[in-house]
Amino acid sequence: MKSIASFVILFFLTFSFQAQEKKWTLRECVAYALENNISIKQSQLDVDASELDRMDAIGNLIPTVNGSASYTTNTGANINPVTNQFENETFSSMTAGVSSNLTLFDGLKNVRQLQRSKLAKLASLYRLDKMKDDIALAVANSFLQVLLNKANLEVIKAQNIVTLEQLDRTEDLVDAGVLPQGDMLEIKATDASEKQRMAVAENDVEISLISLAQLLLIKDYANFQIVDEGYEIISTEVVNKPVQEIINSAEETRSEVKIAEQDVLLAEKDVQIARGDYYPTLSAFFGYNTRYSNNDFLDRAFVDQLWQNDGIGYGIRLNVPIFNGLTVRTNVKRNKVNLERTEFQLEQAKLDLESNVYQAYVDVNGALKAYEASQKALESQELAYDYAKERYDVGLTNAFDFSQSKLRFDNAKIEVNRTKYDYIFKLKVLELFFGVDAKDIKL
């Protein structure tokens, strides 16, 4: 028993350790969000609802069949359903029947309603795709924010180590009378400032991790971590493509235009459906019924009455619209207005998409230039810092000037991090416009 208990404890400890060591990649985060995000699930329900609408439209094209039955006890003067005579006595009777109806022609309204339901389902699928793109982009942005905050924290930690080393050396030089007391106080002030910045940076990391976990609907905030290595190489394949090629790809693949196109097709179908009310409606019907009474004057048995009292009715019914208070004409005009509105919306969607692609293209190139400029600035600040450090080490500059040089060096590193991840995010936006699938988004 002890060995079994030990095995169980070891198993759960191992499982718990593995769960805590789990680190999420961006692709895993996106995949998890696409599977569990509430907004995506709601969009999927819209797709399911559109499929039910399609089934309703199919049902309108097939015959309806309904059965009915009733059993009645009558007291006083009532018509006997079998003899069809008034009888002033208590008797029981039963009637039963089956009826069927089929619309033969209704101005093609049912056919076009089925066509419309298929278009509506396709529009729902496009909206689902757009929701997935939006969620993937939001996850990527939140993921990159965590990376940025972690990178900034590492910069501050690394520089604080240098500050502490410099503080030890300065204390020795002050004790030896080589440097004034003010230099040591300046370095201590720098150390305190860096520790404050470090605390803020650590808090930023925790908050950004929690925000990402909340976006993914992960409740175990304490053990949620991401992979924060391997993001140094930045692809520029999409950036090197002509902007018109990206626009053409976006018009073919992006859901915004497809949704607007489907809305136009739906509006056209609504106009056709409304016009169907101008035409006559022709339908066929069939009915079978039978009856029984316990007061049958022939004293026939129950089954005999059912067979002998049955009847069949069938025929066709024509309904011709003549005047309906201008309702049909008004409805047709209303749907035409809606059609024009959707056509304008489609034109606007194309213009917006083209504008957004241009903006994303300009943003990526601008972010790339900013990243390259920040790298050059970092190189210059690093040289200036090394020079200031050398001068400080030999007593040719004071601690204040050295601290200022070090602060500019730290800020240059942080600016490289900011521009780097800003560029990566804007590159992801451009890739989605170019047609990269949301689930394939990666760094």
Q: In this structure, is the dihedral angle defined by the CA atoms of residues 219, 220, 221 and 225, taken in order, positive or negative?
A: negative
> What are the residue ranges spanned by the domains of the chain?
22-62+106-279+321-440
| % of the chain with per-residue pLDDT over 70 | 91
Choice among 156-160, 211-215, 229-233 with the minimum mean pLDDT: 229-233
pLDDT confidence bin for 234, thresholds 50/70/90: low
Q: What is the pLDDT of residue 11?
A: 41
pLDDT over threshold 60, residue 15: no
Output 365 or 181, whichever has higher pLDDT: 365
Q: What is the pLDDT of residue 59?
A: 92
- Alpha-carbon distance of 131 to 137, in angstroms, equals 10
Return the H-helix or E-strand segment holding 246: helix 243-253
Q: What is the pLDDT of residue 18?
A: 44
pLDDT over threshold 50, residue 23: yes
Mean pLDDT of 276-286: 93
For 354, the 3-state DSSP assignment is helix
Mean pLDDT of 248-276: 92
Q: What is the pLDDT of residue 82?
A: 72
Choice among 137-141, 179-183, 256-260, 434-438 with the minimum mean pLDDT: 434-438
Residue 386: which residues within 8 A CB-CB, separation 6 or more?
none
pLDDT over threshold 80, residue 364: yes
Q: What is the pLDDT of residue 48?
A: 94
Q: Which residues of 245-274 are buried (b: 16+ CB within 10 A; e: fewer)?
A: ebbebbbebbbbbbbbbbbbbbbbbbbbbb
Q: What is the CA radius of gyration of the chain?
A: 39
- Alpha-carbon distance of 271 to 273, in angstroms, equals 5
pTM across the whole model: 0.79
Burial class (CB in 10 A: 0-12, 13-18, 19+), 417: buried
Residue where the block lists tokens 């749907």: 335
Q: Which residues of 331-341 are buried (b: 16+ CB within 10 A; e: fewer)?
A: bbeebbebbee
- Alpha-carbon distance of 135 to 117, in angstroms, equals 27
Give tens-digit pLDDT for 30-50.
899 999 999 999 999 999 999
User: Domain spanning 22-62+106-279+321-440: which CATH class is it, in words?
Assistant: mainly alpha
Mean pLDDT, rounded, of the chain: 85
Q: What is the pLDDT of residue 12?
A: 42
How many CA atoms lie less than 13 Å away from 248 in the CB half-sphere? 5
Q: Are 133 and 437 in contact (CB under 8 A)?
A: no
Give tens-digit pLDDT for 196-227.
989 999 999 999 999 999 999 888 888 899 88
Q: 171, 140, 191, 181: which is closest to 26 by C-alpha?
A: 140
Burial class (CB in 10 A: 0-12, 13-18, 19+), 407: middle
